[in-house]
Structure 1
Amino acid sequence: MKVLAEVRRGLRAGALRAALLLLPLCVCAAQEPDSNNEQRTTNNETASDQLSPAARRAYTELLKLRTGTAQALARTELRQQPGSPGALLVAEGAGFAELVISQDASRYQTIIDQQDAALAALDAQPRTALRDYVRGEIRLHQAVAQVMFGHELQGAWSLRQAYLQVQQNARRWPGYLPTVKTLGLCEFLIGSVPEGYRWFLNLLGLPGNTEAGLQHLRTAAQRPHDFQPEAQILVALIRQTYYGADEEAAALVARLSREQPDNLLFSYLGMSVQKKLHHADQALAYYRNQPTGPTYVPVAYLHHMAADLLLYQGQYTASERANQQFLSEYRGVHYRKDAWFKLYLAYWLSGDAAQAERSRQQISKGGDTTVEEDRYAQRFVDDRVPLSRPLTRARLQIDGGYYRPALATLDEFRATGATPLRDRLEEPYRRARAYHGLQRLDSARLYYGRCITASGTAPYYFAPQSALQLGYICQEAGQKAQAKAYFQQALSYGKHEYKTSTDAKAKVALASLK
């Protein structure tokens, strides 16, 4: 079921990972209740269409990733009001959050059973907009869990059921903004699946539409309701990932973090957004200032992100410690190959050849290749092509936003007749990325073009990424015809390490040009 594998990759890929792994599992962003918002009704909602004050407090704890506290509050609410939709959503969401964050497969069946029990409890409740919304959310969570943990046929059916439920909710409760939010998320994510797999999703009755999805999300983000901040975050992250609206996402997450410094999810999002922006210093500041304590669910992936950021800065020993902590705490199979590859880089660049070789050998011994980073690490082992120190250091510096030092490092690279083709293609691509980061767009265009011309049909990501970036440059300059040609060119390349994410971004960009 290759299409479900693509959906699974999409659930794990790129900067949108923060939204997909964390936001849907705690489908809320409610603020602390006060005397005004407890009495609020909007869009002709009744009190039964909103979270109760107790459920809102539980949601606040869940959003902060204090899952134990959230579950305790939800259980208290359920004892007092059996079948409370908001409390059922918190109780289910807390377990789902822990499953998705820990990636602990031993907990999978327990969570699925809890979701089934929550759905059965909801079926016994009177129909309200909130009750139907919660049913749709839990079905969507179940689909995500099944696809993530490899139960792809079950996941496909659950995804179809969830989407049909959300569509039915939108018809039955028109204008109910929480449902508009979820409808928009489903439409956008399904619409961004590569064209080669559209037939399968159409067969399931899952017609995605990125533009319609984004518009629904914007509607839910612009008007007040219990879940408005979640919709705002989703819009910001989607626009950053697919439309280059970087500062918009950074500003929103910075504001949320200031308002709730004890919110671990917001620290995660701030770190992820700043890492995507190539602001290593700012991303590490979120990491170092994250709230800690026994009430928070452990998020091992934070240490893996920190290891990358420290590697960008050349702090090799600190990067090694962070990735070793990630590997010791993490229970999943994803990002393990990438962690061992980054350990290899840290040891190799610091001159410890023996530890570097031990790390290289570990890459093939465990983990999975669903995630693009893991596929890249495994390909490094399989291809047996030695890395260039200047190119590797320059790549890391560029990823951290250290563009001028990267250009100086690239000047150390000297191609000879024995230089592998991959290195000869990477050098102009890295120069283009550095110049692009410095907003020297004429130089960036020149080197992206050189990379594309020299690449031909070579099976590396440098040419398709160059075409994608040229498309963005032309789009920003208002050159729509040229942008369209470059985005189509990015889609035209065959298999390469980052084809899934590159194709998804190019597809969304093309849709935005219409």
Structure 2
Amino acid sequence: MLTPFQNILKKPFGLCPGVFSFLLLSFYFIIPTLSGQGTFSFSPLAKKAYQSTFELKLTKAKEELRELQIAEPENLIGVLIEDYIDFFTIFINENEEEFHRLEKNKAGRLRKIKTGDPQSPYYNYCQAEIYLHWALARIKFEEYFTAFNEVRNAFRLLNNNQDEYPDFVANKKSLGMLHALIGTVPENYQWGLKLIGGMEGTIQQGQKEIEEVLAYSKTRDFIFKDETIFMYSLLQLHLKNNQKEAWETMEGSGVDPETSPLATFAFANVALRTGQTDKTIEILESRPNGTEYSPFPYLDYMLGLAWLYKLDPKAEMFLQSYLDHFQGINYIKEANQKIAWSKWIRGDKDGYRKYMDRCKQEGGAVIGGDKMAQREAENGVPPHPTLLKARLLFDGAYYTRAAEVLEDQKANFQQGDHSLEFAYRLGRVYQKLGDNEQALKNYETAIREGENDPAYYACNSALQLGIMYEEQGATGMAIQWFEKCLSLKPKEYRSSLHQKAKAGLNRIYSKS
């Protein structure tokens, strides 16, 4: 349960996400030193290289960048495209050695950009984008201090650019997402904002700016149109809590998810998070394949999750594929845990123990899901199979099936070690089924029993009550429960839950 901030910063695109939640892939190409003052132009050759990069056709992108350098040696847009590709490489592979090798390119690229025409709006914009790429990449490897400084540099350049070139629409794409994110930075990242200072923004401000970019792109040929669409969808999903708008943005985008693994990821990510598990499977199983595309193992991880939410053992094949091909450290523990869960709900105790042992030994414990998986492995206590089935069905938006599983075993959970989780899960299911009375009753039970428990059940119950009351227009009660959420300090998913509570308060106060 990552925060919007972490989804964009920690996950591939999530992302973050996005600010550039959907910027993922790889390659390294150095343009020779230019003579004279460089220019900035998305010429036909530059557009081809950019498009190939975002289709993850990296060999083709390399060739097109070489053609661009030969035909237009003064065109510095190629430098920006190079940086996109390095950034994608790092986000997909999460290879620390590769990160340190590619990071050496940053300073040289900034120097090249500064040889360009300072009167062009792309002069500051390209520098800002490069700073943002490396800030987001660094957070993968927990280099937070340098990352925040790079964000500050990007913010300053974008702000200056906005003052000098207010009609330069691309600027608002990045500045808008930064404004939205800054308005909801979670508690454990506030030190960064205080340290660097001078950065302010709100969700509403960022949304307005991105909507202006989308409106512009509908009537003009705008190179960053798809990026902006993906960003806006993430903003609606993670910061505005508007699942319907998030999916409609993607569905009406005109982007075909079968043309690029990156587009596949964008659509599948939103579909999975908006309760469209069957659609997610359809999207992921129709993804483009072939040697011309860069490998994207995370798509297998997502497909494994989708099948697991259906309680289907096919999940194990795709989760194992992720483990076999991913080079980084994130989601390794969680993938092992999810395979273990698949075996556990079918009564395979030996299989469960085998993969939970692997969970202890493999991968990192940086992100929330991996930390939870590690904790389960170390505790040696498996989840209750009934509650686990209900949880997975709920995550897949199979709410009626989840309710049936829980109600069938209700008498067994009135007290004891699992009564807290039972109340929480029943509350979640009834909330989605529209039975607010039953949801309220069970959430209040979970908060009463769990406010001092290290698990996240009480904290998320308070958050969900805030969301329920906000949807009903009862802003006073919504504020009370959002603040209750912020007062609880679970060990699990604290940043994510507090981020969402802050976003809820911001939504309310922006209307008053």
- TM-score w.r.t. the length of structure 1 is 0.88
In the other structure, the counterpart of 2:80 is 89
Residues 467 and 15 of structure 1: CA distance in aligned 2, closer, same or farther (over 3 Å): farther
1:218 aligns with 2:211: yes
Residues 411, 205 of structure 1: alpha-carbon distance in 2 compared, 3 angstrom cutoff: same
The answer as to 2:374 corresponding to 1:378 is yes
Q: Distance in 1 between matches of 2:209 and 2:140?
A: 26
CA distance in 1, matches of 2:497, 2:456: 9
Matched, 1:164 2:160: no
Indicate the residue corresponding to 1:130 in structure 2.
Answer: 122
Q: Summarize the Cα distance change of 1:428–1:177 in structure 2 as closer, same or farther, 3 Å threshold.
A: same
Instruction: Kindly indicate whether the alpha-carbon contact (under 8 Å) linking 2:76 and 2:113 is maintained by their aligned counterparts in 1.
Output: yes
Question: Hey, what's the Cα distance between the residues in 1 that align with 2:413 and 2:272?
Answer: 36
CA contact (8 A) 2:9 2:18 kept: yes
Q: Hey, what does 1:40 align to over in structure 2? A: none
Question: Which range is displaced more, 214-223 or 237-246?
Answer: 214-223
Matched, 1:205 2:189: no
Provide the C-alpha distance between the structure 1 equivalents of 2:6 and 2:438, rounded to a whole number of angstroms: 37
Which residue of 1 is the match for residue 234 of structure 2? 237
Per the alignment, do residues 21 and 475 of structure 1 end up closer, same or farther by CA in structure 2, a change over 3 Å counting? closer
**Paired residue for 1:100, among 91, 98, 113?**
91
Give 3-state SS (helix, strand or coil) of 1:411's partner.
Answer: helix
- Work out the CA distance in 2 between the residues paired with 1:14 and 1:420: 39
Amino acid of the structure 2 residue aligned with 1:11 = L
Point out the more displaced range, 147-156 or 177-186.
Answer: 147-156
- Deviation per residue, 1:315-351 (Å, 9 max, x gap): 12x1111111001110111111101110111121222
CA contact (8 A) 2:24 2:89 kept: no
Query: Could you tell me which residue of structure 2 aligns to residue 401 of structure 1?
Result: 397
Q: Name the counterpart of 2:326.
A: 330
2:42 maps to 1:60: no
Secondary structure of 2:263's aligned partner: helix
Shift, 1:434, TM fit: 1.5
Give the aligned residue type for 1:361: D
In 1, Cα distance between equivalents of 2:174 and 2:168: 11
Query: What CA distance in whole angstroms lies between the structure 1 residues aligned with 2:253 and 2:5?
Result: 29
Instruction: Rate the CA distance shift 1:14–1:246 in 2: closer, same or farther, 3 A.
Output: farther
8 Å contact kept, 1:188–1:208:
no
Distance 2:248 2:6 in 1: 29
* Coordinate RMSD, CA, aligned: 2.5
Seen in structure 2, the aligned counterparts of structure 1 residues 435 and 156 have a Cα distance that, compared at 3 Å, is same
Q: 1:500 to 1:490 in 2, by over 3 A?
A: same
Any conservation in 2 of the 1:214–1:235 contact (CA below 8 Å)? yes
Match of 1:494 among 489, 498, 503: 489
Segment of structure 1 superposing worse, 265-274 or 382-391 = 382-391
Alignment of 1:423-442 (within 5 A): 423-442=418-437
Output one character per residue of 1:205-234: Cα deviation in whole Å (capped at 9) or x when no partner.
252323322332222222233323322321
Map 1:250-289; keep pairs closer than 5 Å. 250-256=247-253, 259=256, 261-289=258-286
Q: 1:87 to 1:10 in 2, by over 3 A?
A: closer
1:247 positional shift:
1.8
DSSP-derived class of the 1:485 partner: helix
- Alpha-carbon distance in structure 1 between the residues aligned to 2:166 and 2:180: 19
In the TM superposition, what whole-angstrom CA distance separates every residue of 1:356-405 from its partner, at most 9, and x where no partner exists?
Answer: 11111111113222211111111212333332111000100111111111
Residue correspondences, number: 488
Deviation at 1:259, TM superposition (A): 4.3
Q: 2:398, 2:89 → 1: CA distance? A: 35
Contact 1:391/1:427, CA 8 A, preserved across alignment: yes
Once the 2 structures are TM-superposed, how far is the Cα of residue 180 of structure 1 from its aligned partner?
1.4
Question: 1:44: which partner in 2?
Answer: none
Q: Deviations over 1:271-307 (max 9, x none)?
A: 1111111221111011111111111111111111111
Distance 1:355 1:385, change over 3 A: closer
Tell me what 2:31 maps to: none
Contact 2:15–2:22 (CA under 8 A) maintained in structure 1: no
Taking the aligned partners of 2:382 and 2:507, their CA distance within structure 1 comes to: 40
1:320 matches 2:293: no
Tell me which amino acid in the other structure corresponds to 2:363: G
1:171-210 → structure 2 map (5 Å cutoff) = 171-195=163-187, 197-210=189-202
Partner of 2:305: 308
**Match of residue 451 from structure 1:** 446
Contiguous gaps of at least 5 residues in structure 2: 26-38
1:20 aligns with 2:18: yes
| Distance change (3 Å), C-alpha of 1:417 and 1:501 | closer
| CA displacement 1:405-459 (0-9 Å, x = unmatched) | 11111134356699653x2111121112212222233322232222222323222
Letter in 1 for 2:130: I
2-side partners of 1:503 and 1:328: how far apart?
34
1:31 matched residue in structure 2:
none
CA distance in 1, matches of 2:112, 2:12: 36
- Which 10-residue stretch deviates more, 88-97 or 247-256? 247-256
Contact kept, 8 Å, 2:187 with 2:495, in 1: the verdict is no
TM-score by length of 2: 0.89
Measured in 1, the distance between the counterparts of 2:411 and 2:437 equals 24
Aligned to 1:299: 296
State how far apart, in whole Å, the 2-side matches of 1:284 and 1:95 are.
Answer: 29
Q: Give 1:398's aligned amino acid.
A: F
Identical columns (%) = 25
Aligned partner (choices 96, 112, 115) of residue 106 of structure 2: 115
Contact 1:403 / 1:434 at 8 angstroms: preserved in 2? Answer: yes
CA distance in 2, matches of 1:148, 1:83: 33
- Structure 1 residues 472 and 49, CA gap change in structure 2 (3 angstroms): farther
Tell me what 1:38 maps to: none
User: Residue 121 and residue 49 in structure 1: after superposition, are their counterparts in 2 closer, same or farther (change >3 A)?
Assistant: closer
Say if 1:143 and 1:156, in contact at 8 Å, map to a contact too. Answer: yes
Cα distance 1:305–1:6, how it changes in 2: closer, same or farther (>3 A)?
Answer: closer
- Alpha-carbon contact 1:275-1:309 (below 8 Å) kept: yes
Residues 124/347 of structure 1: CA separation in 2 closer, same or farther (3 Å cut): same
1:196/1:377 Cα in 2 relative to 1: closer, same or farther (>3 Å)? closer
Q: Distance in 2 between matches of 1:186 and 1:55?
A: 26
Judging changes above 3 Å, is the alpha-carbon distance between structure 1 residues 383 and 100 closer, same or farther for their aligned structure 2 residues? same
Asked if structure 1 preserves the Cα contact closer than 8 Å seen for 2:19 and 2:231, the reply is: no
CA separation of 1:206 and 1:103: change in aligned 2, threshold 3 A: farther
Specify which of 465, 470, 479 is matched with residue 470 of structure 1.
Answer: 465
Match for residue 358 of structure 2?
362
